[in-house]
Structure formats: C-alpha cells, structure tokens
Structure 1
Amino acid sequence: MASTDHSALQKTIPLPGDGLDASRMPGHWLLARLGKRVLRPGGVELTRWMLDALGVDPEDRVVELAAGLGATARLTLVRRPAAYTAVDRDATAVAALSALAAPGPTQVRAVRSDAADTRLPDGDATVVYGEAMLTMQPEPAKRRIVREALRLLDGSTGRYAIHELCLLPDDLDPALAERITHDLHEAIHVGARPLTPTAWSELLATEGFTVTAIKTAPMALLEPRRLIADEGVVPALRIAGRALRNPAALRRVLHMRSVFHRHRDHLGAISLLAVPTPSQP
C-alpha cells in the first residue's frame, strides 16, 4: 500500500462527522475536518515522550487503541516495530488507518473494534498505548479498557502507556472539578471526564499495572504556539483559514479555546508508562 498524508485522506476518505453540522459534531471531529492532525492534549511533544518511554523497537508488537486518523501511528511506524495494529470503532478512521504503509518490514493492520473488547488474542502485544480516549469514558469503561490492555500484553515484556487530560492539582476542589467537566462537555460535545495525576495512577494500579514514569504538560491544544509546533506553520495557517471561512466552525473553535484558557490553571495533559504488576506467589 502506498503511504498517504492527511490532506490526501481528506480528499479520498470521508472523515468522521460527515453529514453533521459544525455546531453539533464532537470537537475532535470538527478539528479533524479543519485539517488538524494532532488531537492529543499534550501535543506531539508529549506523544514523542510517551513513545520514547515505551522504547518501541524492531522486536515489538504494538497495539494502538482508538488510533484515530493515524498521527501517532506514523511516529510509531518510523520506529519499525515487528507489527503494528490500529484499533478503532469508527469505520472512517479504520479506512484511513488501512491506507498506512510502514517504511520497513512492519506488519500493519487496522481493525474495527472497541477498545474495551478488541477481540485480539491474549498476549498479542508487547506494547499497548492509547491517547485522548480514556478521558472520554465513564469510570467503568475506563477500567474495562485498562483491563483489555493488560489482557493484550505479553506479561514478560509488556508495556502500557496513556496520554490523557488531567485535572490539577491532586487536591482540586470537587465542585470546581465538576464545573470544569461541565464546561468541557458543553464546549466539545463529548463527555470528558479527566482525572488528577494521582487518580490516573491509582486507576492503572487497581487494574493490575505498576506505573514506572509520569510526565505532565500544559493543555494548550488550540494555542497558536502549540498549533504551529504540532502541525507546522503552513498547515496551521490552512486550519485557521478553513475556520475563518466557516462561521459555525469558527464559533466552536473559539468556544473550545476559551474554555481551555479559562481553566488553564487546572487542566493539563499527562502521560503515564506502566508495566503489568508481577503476580504474587
């Protein structure tokens, strides 16, 4: 299969949100339709840290949960793992991911499935990761997805990583946390439920993982400096131009940015690396 870029995907493969008005579709779909490739709260910098921490190498079998349109997949494939499997429940995302080609001998596949029930074999992976997806799940679903990651991992060499929104600080007032959650839902039209750094660590620990590394970053998804760092100058200008030509989209983007800015002192991005906790004799 020939490799392709995001602009080509926009022309050949329908993106999520087809048929929905810009005022109603989930925020990440809207941004994707405007041309934004990096839809991770900590940007490409935190994604690169995550992949470095995972130490993906040619011996690894990688599974990416909720892989989206492949921005992180491309960074992973450059590392030439033995195998890469993208899992996503959206048909348009799977179509885009199926168009990916590895620069080396990596076996690449994309499967349409739920992150909590991938239907992949036990121990099928040495590396599992997911980004900007656990945040969008209620607690029971968060736990099911983490358990699925544990099931997929080869217990002897397995590593798991997440990259998500977080609430700051750990002792954030619950009423303020609820207000932030409400404002996020109103802005992005998805039920975002971020956790504090300690709560993210506890979630992984109670589902069978030992956290070995943590890194946080500002949540600056729609700030100009982050936009340019993640997308490049010319693509960033194109995204801005598309938004300016679509009043409904522009209103949504400005609303999302205002919410992120309003809560900037209490919203961050976090990545955690974990390994399966050894069974007690």
Structure 2
Amino acid sequence: MAHEDSDTGTGLPYAQRKAEDAPGHWLLARLGKRVLRPGGLGLTRQMLDKVGISGAAIVELAPGLGRTATDIIARGPASYTGVEKDADAARLTEKAVGTAGTVVNADAAQTGLPDACADVVIGEAILTMQSDAVKHAIVAEAARILRPGGRYAIHELGLQPADLDPEVKTELRKDLARVIKVNARPQTIPEWRALLEEAGLVVDWTGTAPMALLQMRRNLADEGVRGTARIIRNVLRDRDARRRVMKMRGLFRKHRDELRGVALVARRPE
C-alpha cells in the first residue's frame, strides 16, 4: 500500500482494490497521473481544436477524472454535460467543472439525454475498453444525441499498420488484458473510421500520436515537472504498484511499433 501521506487520489474508482488487481488506468490515477489518454494531452487538444468547442452544447461521455472537462470549459462552450457511469468518477468530474457544467450518472450507451441535444459529443479512451457490440451501441447513442451537422470526437488506442497480422492483434489484446486487467480491444485507423461511418457519420479529421503513456518525456509534457515528481514519488513508495507499472511499461515497449494514440472527428450529416 502507498504511504498515508502520498498524493494518490481519494474517492477514485477501485481506490481500495489491491494494486495487482486494479485496472491499469485507475491504478495510474491513484498514483497521481491525471492525463490517461493514449495520445497524450497534445492529441486531445488537437482534437478539441478540430471539433470546435466555443459556443457549442457539449456532451462528454465517460469523463473519468474530469481532466479533459477542464480544457473544454476553458474554451467557452455554451453548455457542458458529462455522462459518467461510475458514481465516484462522476463526483470527480463534478468537482472539476464546478458550476460551469453538469454531470449525470448514466451509461454512455444509454445516456437518457434527449434526441439531437448536442452540438458536440466527446469520448476519450472509452470505446477501446468495450466489446464490439458495446462500441457500436455507444457510437449509435452519440449519433442519436447529436444535432444535424453536429460533431463527434473520439481519442482511442489505435493499431498499426492498417493490415496488421490478425495473430499479432490477438496476441496484443491478450497481453493488454493480462497486464492492464481490462479487456481492451484497440483497432486500426480504418476500423475506427468504419465504426463511425456505420453509424451514419462522416469522418472529417484523423490525428495520431505515439502511445507514450509511461515515457518520461510524455509525462513531463502532460503532467508538468511537479506532477511527474508526484507520480514518481508515489510509485517509489508503493512496491506492488511499482511492479504493475513496470509490467505495463514493458508491455507498451514490446508493442511500441503496433500501438498508437488516434483521434477522429466525425459529423452527423445535415
């Protein structure tokens, strides 16, 4: 266990679960990591630039810690609504947005929001964690709540090249499930495009970035010097968490040629 005076988050999902059992992204959050997106803060901000936030009615699916929500609020949307299934994570997002937005405790595939209520729907690192059926359900829900001409932006874990050997893809997914304790199912860029297009959306922009979640340079860029120091301190204090982090880092290095952060912006036709 981490020291009592560590800077790990409180109230996080899986906060009481042993380090060896917690999903990898929530373990990293407990250790102080705030940017948990495959392509880092840089790719998220590119995506937000492309999707258009200012003056728009925004719905964010599964905002988690609320880190992207703060960037969205800073860009001056007309409104912000977060949809978060996990009650603990919903409270974290509520704290992050304060009076500038609202958060509803609901599933991304069944938000309960009205038809055509959003100019922009945003979801990061949520589809990767789902089965194919749930991926389609979430994208269909995003398309339902978008107004005609509205935009849907996703930031997910991608695979490359486009013709990646199916056996390599299967091995990679098994490795991810074993190490990060989540049945992650990343896809190639053509597969992500097809997922959006099958829901009747038109992809207007695609961006990529290295999958460097646990590399020092990425952490300095995403978390800053103080944030990176906090993470390192907490990792050094927690032997079990350190063992998990090293396994994740080794996995990402093993598959560094195949893994990629990918973001897409699509629109609902008029």
TM-score (normalizing by structure 1): 0.91
Aligned to 1:110: 103
Structure 1: distance between partners of 2:258 and 2:96: 37
Structure 1: distance between partners of 2:189 and 2:97: 35
Conservation of the 8 A alpha-carbon contact between 2:8 and 2:31: no
Q: Write out aligned runs for 1:75-154 (5 A).
A: 75-101=71-97, 107-154=100-147
Q: Return closer, same or farther for 1:203/1:68 CA change in 2, 3 Å cut-off.
A: same
Aligned to 2:26: 29
Given residue 80 of structure 1, which amino acid in structure 2 is its aligned partner? Answer: G
Aligned to 1:4: none
Structure 1: distance between partners of 2:126 and 2:28: 16
Given residue 216 of structure 1, which amino acid in structure 2 is its aligned partner? Answer: T
Aligned to 1:260: 252
Could you tell which deviates more after superposition, 14-23 or 47-56? 14-23
**1:226 and 2:218 aligned:** yes
Question: What is the deviation of 1:277?
Answer: 3.4
Aligned to 2:261: 269
Q: Return closer, same or farther for 1:254/1:180 CA change in 2, 3 Å cut-off.
A: same
Structure 1: distance between partners of 2:51 and 2:15: 35
Conservation of the 8 A alpha-carbon contact between 1:83 and 1:108: yes
Q: Return closer, same or farther for 1:9/1:34 CA change in 2, 3 Å cut-off.
A: closer
Alpha-carbon RMSD across the aligned residues, in angstroms, is 1.5
Q: Secondary structure at the match of 1:256?
A: helix
Aligned to 1:163: 155
Q: Secondary structure at the match of 2:163?
A: coil
Deviation by residue 1:158-203 (Cα, 9 ceiling, x = unmatched): 0001000011000000000000101111111000000100010011
Question: What is the deviation of 1:72?
Answer: 0.2
Aligned to 1:17: 14
Given residue 57 of structure 1, which amino acid in structure 2 is its aligned partner? Answer: S
The share of aligned pairs that are identical, in percent, is: 49
Conservation of the 8 A alpha-carbon contact between 1:82 and 1:107: no
Structure 1: distance between partners of 2:7 and 2:60: 22
Conservation of the 8 A alpha-carbon contact between 2:8 and 2:234: no
Conservation of the 8 A alpha-carbon contact between 2:118 and 2:147: yes
Aligned to 2:38: 41
Tell me which stretches of 4 or more aligned residues in structure 1 moved more than 6 Å.
none
Given residue 45 of structure 2, which amino acid in structure 1 is its aligned partner? Answer: R
Q: Return closer, same or farther for 1:200/1:101 CA change in 2, 3 Å cut-off.
A: closer
What stretches of structure 1 of length at least 5 have no aligned partner? 1-6
Size of the aligned set, in residue pairs, is: 265
Question: What is the deviation of 1:8?
Answer: 9.2
